[in-house]
Structure 1
Amino acid sequence: MKKLLLICTCLAFTYITNAQTQDKKWNIGLHGGATQSNTDYVNDFYKGHMPFYAFGGLSVSRYLGGHFDLSLLATKGKVGYSTIYGRTSQDFTTTSLNARFHLLGPNTPVRPYLFVGGGVMIFDKNLDIKKSTVDYITPSYGVGVNFKMGPTVMLNIQETFLNSSEDKRDGVVKGGNDSYLMHMVGLTFNFGKKKDADKDGVADRNDKCPNTPAGVAVDKTGCPLDKDADGVADYLDKCPDVAGVAALMGCPDKDGDGITDAEDRCPDVAGSLAMKGCPDTDKDGVADIDDHCPDTKAGYKVDAAGCPMDNDKDGIVNEDDRCPDAAGPASLKGCPDTDGDGVADIDDRCPAIKGTIANKGCPEMTVEEVKKITEIASKIFFENNSDKLKVASLVQLDELTTLLKKYENANLLIGGYTDSKGTDAYNLTLSQKRTESVKAYLMSKGIMESRLSATGYGETLPIADNKTALGRAKNRRVELKTSY
């Protein structure tokens, strides 16, 4: 008996080191107490003058649910009787399997319970009263209570009633079968392997977050800690002490622009990532906080201060400046006017000589020079019925060349006319050829073709009567007009 108790004690204390009451399904208990008998003689339970004998026991229980478990109880000791001849006792061993119903849940410190079951009682073999040593317990039942003393240790008190299948252990067969009462007290220990898949110290059955990564601190429910209660676990939260948004890994974003306050130059005003969280009202690439010209027109290039570029520093921004790299007045849209004639150099055909706007910056011909051109036109002659210039005409055209070179901006219109002799088609062709001859000669003297325009009008537009020789002579003519 002593050896059995020692072995059970060692086993119990071995399991206690790794056990937790709520998570461990198995329980082992060490018990002791006293027995009483209720037989055919004057015996009764709970009477102080009735015989009490000691016993020891071992129990093993299996958790079935919040209020149920199954318990196997084995005891060894003595049981005694009072007879007309005095008291007698005998050694016995019991084994019973009981279903227990706990009135309170597993987390309560005090857990009363009821139980019922059955088993066997084995008595000494040397009894003369009854040769059979085995009686059946039909049934066993009773009440008990467990007091939680720690995570795995409980104090157990139990009253066990054993109803025997026989009525001869006291030597008398009379009335009902014999019954026994065991007053029992003991210590029980919970053990077993706790299921904790993610190794966070919270059993799977209580773990609301069963897939927590290894090494992450968790709360009582097994979920990762979230100090700022923003829904982002501390181990994933870049700002664990300040509530933020999940999209920014738990960091705050007051203006809701998708940039954390810590990285936002303008945390109270929504902006763009390119502007580091600041707005850019005029979309010029310079944040409003740095922009000295916040109302710049769309598309204008700006400097670091957000103001439109002005390369030539003339007060006119590049986009409005016709000459952004050369300073000029606003009246000429930023272009210079070297000769001061009111025509910008970019448009001035004579930028170094003061002229008129009508002549695109070049000076106008004098009245005398205009008359001279008209006079030259009247002295241009051709061979009869030919477009070949007469030699005397070449001197006049040389003088005309000098004037055209003097006024490089002037263009020359060359018009050719004939009298009415001949067909219209012939006269039109002849007049065109004669103007082309004049144009070709002037070009040979260095006058650009782009300045010369030659048109033959034939016998149209006469200036005299074609019926007279004098009139026909006047109609055979070349007219020269300048334009700009």
Structure 2
Amino acid sequence: MKTHGYCKLTVALTVMPALFVALALRGQPLLAQDTTTHFVKPLTGASGFRTWSIGLTGGALAPVAGIGGTNDYTQWMATLGYGAYIKYQVTHGLGFQLDYLGGTLQGNNSKVQSDGTYRVGPYSSFKTDLHWTGTLSAVYSFTNINWLWRRNILIPYVSLGAGMAGYAPTMTASSGETVAYKPGSEIHEFVVPVGAGCKFNVAPGINIDLGYKMYFLDADNLDGTERIPGHKDRFSYGYAGLEFALGPRSKPQLAADNPVYDLHRQMRQENEELRSRLMDETQAALDANKAKLAQVTALQEQIDKMKSDADGDGVSDYFDKCPNTPPGVKVDGSGCPLDTTPRVQTFQITEEDRRIVREAIQNLEFDFAKASIRPTSYPSLDRVAEILVNKHFSLKLAGHTDNVGSPSRNMRLSKDRAESVKAYLVSRGANPSRIEATGYGQTQPIASNRTADGRQKNRRVEFTLY
């Protein structure tokens, strides 16, 4: 009869593939092409992919290996093992993986040998606490380049590595006495892991990991017994786990990417772009022909217009910038009436004019943080408007602020205040074409903004009469 440990391992190794097949048949929505990840063009390196991943595993540990058989006891027992790893993917097929493994290993001499007898030894069973196993392995995935499917669902792999293991065996004699192999110490030995497995890509960046690893030790200490001189122990780990890709979700996982599909997608995209460009060029040629026809039509209309003079002012309609001129009005070469108005008398700016402007600047006040002028400023501004109307002077208004508030807001406020002054002067009869309003914000202070008096001086509208 098979032992209880052997049954547990058999059930575990049977259930895991069954679970794997069930997920493959029922998990189709998870396998749809991920529309949230970006497309990475082939031959552009690994920078566009997620190359780091972590994994957690659990499964059955046994002091037996598919290559080399059992160790120094006739019956091995399956026990729970657990592990974790971090992996870096170098290319689509090659990656390097740092593994941790822990658990216990057990065996006994309860199995009948081929000659019908039981093995006799100083101990009837053993239990080894596998405190830790740390290994670095090269992992090669050999079906990433898939010519049949757009997305890799099944990713078989093999691995080979090296590392160290730390463990402590305990043996049980036939009398039931428990003996530690090396009391109070942990054995450290070189170990070579060889494995194979298959990953199932259930979602972007998430893989189910099913595998089997054999660990070959460099000595015969694992079970605390040396039955055959020169023999070296081994153990195995059958596991199932989950692997999670690290990095932005917008990037595809390099280990699950299919470069053949990427190449096909790029060729299809370039083909669509070429077709679209040809259609655009064809449409552009048609539009160009239509434009040339329109130019010919417009040229004919211009020729016809050059021959006509609808208002009879002696200037053809083509050059006439002032059509429908009344009969008898003298016009210039562009067909516009000649300016017969008397010239405005020219005045010089006097000291009195400058004084009026200075008083207007000193008396100018606005509502707080607004562009509205306070009524107390109206009389001074009225006198400035009178000068502009009577002497036809021009005026430049320059608005300024202190540095309180954001630069963009101060720029708008200074411009609005200058425009408010202009609007008031225009309302009093001034010519708007002779008034220029500009805002400079906080860019041209005349005093320090660190004091209240300095900020007061910087909040101003300057008048320049010319």
Report the TM-score when normalising by structure 1. Answer: 0.39
**TM superposition score normalised by structure 2:** 0.41
**Higher RCO (CA-CA < 8 Å; seq separation 6+):** 2
User: Rg bigger for which structure?
Assistant: 1
Whose helix proportion is higher, 1 or 2?
Answer: 2
Q: Which has the higher strand share?
A: 2
